[in-house]
Chains A and B, each alone.
Chain A
Amino acid sequence: MYKLLKNEFVKFSNSYIYYLSFFAMLLPLVLSIIIWYLRRDSFTTSNMYHWDRLINSLQLFYSLFLGAIIPSFIAVFAVFYEFQEKTLHNLLTMPYSRTQILLAKIISSCSIIILINIAVWIIAVIFGLLLGFDNSVNVIFAKTMKLLLPNLATVLFVPIMIFLTLSFRSFLHGMVLTVVCSVMNFALLYKDSAFLFPWSIPSNIYFILDGRVTTDFIYPVTSALIVFALFLFLSIITFRKMDVSR
């Protein structure tokens, strides 16, 4: 299992997917930092020059749009790449069970998403300090967690996307669904029950942390765990039963 996991990273080490995903996640942060730096005087006057405002504007990108697209892209690619390069036959003729192969893909995709988000979060903290925001550890931690936690919840899209890619053997269905559901998420933004819609869970977590909705934190977390477990199960069943010749 460890070797399967290790080689999942090796396979994509030279591909553009990880870099593209990282830079796509980094782009809103860099743009925000530039804007904050250039307009620091007017932002200070209007009481906008602080962590909350920066994180709020970043979450507009992440929770509402990029936050679903990037993890979905990584997950879809982890499976679709094997179809595209016709390497699935090789993989399935290795002495590993199909469950192990699929779990390695899910764990590696989740790890990449977590690593990208932690990297973006660290960069955001560094830039925040350079901009001169409150530098006490407690404040930095409390404020920036609002950026990190909702984004970490996006790993729930991994099994959904892997299930769709395995079922349709195409990247299109998963990616179209992601875009459509990300748009639908706008309609549910401030709803207390938004956690029932998987694509709203990250933004719902953010709004709970920000105090804009009153739902208990346990609801979106439970909902995310249920969705993750359900699609993990469905993906494993689909992969185990899959006839790769069809």
Chain B
Amino acid sequence: MYAVETQNLTKKYKKNVAVNDLNMQVPEGIIYGLLGKNGAGKTTTIRMIMGLTKPDLGIISVFGKNTEKERMWALKNIGAIVETPGFYGNLTAQKNLAITADLRDIDMSRVDQVLEIVGLTAEASKKVKNYSTGMKQRLGIANALIHSPKVLILDEPTNGLDPEGINQLRDFIQSLAKKLKITVILSSHILSEVEQIADYIGIIHKGTLIEQFKISDSGFNKQDYVLLEVDQNSQAKEILTKMELDYQQVDNLFKIFCAKDQNGQISRELVHNGITIYNMSSIKKSLEDKFLYAVGKAKESVL
């Protein structure tokens, strides 16, 4: 059973298809990165999961339960920040969270607990209008965590954060998934952000989920090729051919497609044959390549 699953989810705004036949499967206890350009349909998908927007077609299930039929159950088990977290600026962080706790029938002691989790205990009695963007983001997470949800949905959580804030938030989200065993869905248009944090990735393009995969199975962070720059190109070419390596020559550079454990052998052969190596760097497969490939493929299929 998936923590969150969508089947044929579709949403249209007049002639514009915001989400098209989206089938997303989010396994339990993982961090799922919903990746896509701005306007790809990420926020609309999240809004539909949260019941803020009604889908035109399709089914959303949370732990196997249809969210339309069991909306109250779903809302009790999902915590979310959709776009910018909103708070009553005239009230303190503690009072804002106390409202959520009271409305959700949660013990008030939980307010202090979640404030501690997000590191806002010292600023708890400050009015929210005086909070920085980063603090509001953390308070948003505290608000989403107050009822100990099984699924946490964060829409573009690093928006408006400085690099230090982004790092802190990343560590924090990872610790949530590990310590509290919460399934986290986070949407972002920043590839590096998702790559560093997610276990699973779904690539959404023009409302369609064009790829969905597990990071550990995708070969990321494994060597894609070696970039080589030497003093004698023709001799190097002969050696690489003799070694039966798959390579391409682009101007003075060689792109050698091989496994990482072959790098030593290549360098030894070249040096042994009196070739000077100016530069030899291992290039890893990146999510960016995968993303651009998937988006490119999606564009081709449309054409």
Chain A residues with a Cβ under 8 A of chain B: 3-4, 6-7, 10-11, 13-15, 81, 85-90, 92-96, 243-246
Residues of chain A within 8 A (CB-CB) of B91 are 10-11, 13-14
CA distance A3 to B53 in the complex (A): 25
**Contact yes or no, A11 B87, CB < 8 A:** no
Q: Which of A13, A15, A81, A96 contacts B103 (CB 8 A)?
A: A96
Residues of chain B within 8 A (CB-CB) of A245 are 43-44, 47, 52-53
**Contact yes or no, B88 A4, CB < 8 A:** no
CA distance A7 to B102 in the complex (A): 8
6 example contacts (A-B, Cβ-Cβ < 8 A) are as follows: A11-B91, A89-B50, A90-B86, A90-B143, A92-B50, A94-B103
Q: Which of A4, A14, A89 contacts B83 (CB 8 A)?
A: A89
| Distance from B1 Cβ to chain A, minimum over Cβ atoms (Å) | 22
CA distance A243 to B95 in the complex (A): 28
Per-residue A-contact encoding for B59-79, CB less than 8 Å = 1, 0 else: 000000000000010011010
Residues of chain B within 8 A (CB-CB) of A6 are 102
**Contact yes or no, A244 B72, CB < 8 A:** no
Q: Which B residue sits closest to A16, measured CB to CB?
A: B90
Number of B positions contacting A (CB below 8 A):
33
CA distance A10 to B108 in the complex (A): 15
Q: Which of A13, A85, A95, A244 contacts B53 (CB 8 A)?
A: A244
Contacting residues of chain B (87-106) with chain A, CB-CB under 8 angstroms: 87-91, 95, 98-100, 102-105
Residues of chain A within 8 A (CB-CB) of B47 are 244-245
Residues of chain B within 8 A (CB-CB) of A95 are 72, 75-76, 104
| Distance from B194 Cβ to chain A, minimum over Cβ atoms (Å) | 22
**Contact yes or no, A246 B99, CB < 8 A:** no
Residues of chain B within 8 A (CB-CB) of A7 are 99, 102-103
CA distance A86 to B86 in the complex (A): 4
**Contact yes or no, A89 B99, CB < 8 A:** no
**Contact yes or no, B82 A89, CB < 8 A:** yes
Known A245-B53, A246-B13; contact A87-B88, beta-carbon cutoff 8 A = yes
Whether B165 is near chain A, meaning CB under 8 Å from some CB there, is: no
Residues of chain A within 8 A (CB-CB) of B54 are 243
Residues of chain A within 8 A (CB-CB) of B98 are 10
CA distance A15 to B88 in the complex (A): 10
Report the 3 A-B pairs with minimum CB-CB distance, sorted nearest first: A86-B86, A87-B86, A95-B75
Known A95-B75, A244-B53; contact A90-B100, beta-carbon cutoff 8 A = yes
Whether B80 is near chain A, meaning CB under 8 Å from some CB there, is: yes
Residues of chain B within 8 A (CB-CB) of A86 are 83-86
Per-residue A-contact encoding for B1-37, CB less than 8 Å = 1, 0 else: 0000000000001000000000000000000000000
**Contact yes or no, A3 B102, CB < 8 A:** yes
Residues of chain A within 8 A (CB-CB) of B78 are 93
| Distance from A18 Cβ to chain B, minimum over Cβ atoms (Å) | 12
| Distance from B269 Cβ to chain A, minimum over Cβ atoms (Å) | 60
Known A87-B86, A245-B43, A246-B13; contact A92-B104, beta-carbon cutoff 8 A = no
CA distance A147 to B83 in the complex (A): 47
CA distance A244 to B43 in the complex (A): 12
Q: Which B residue sits closest to A14, measured CB to CB?
A: B90
Residues of chain B within 8 A (CB-CB) of A14 are 90-91
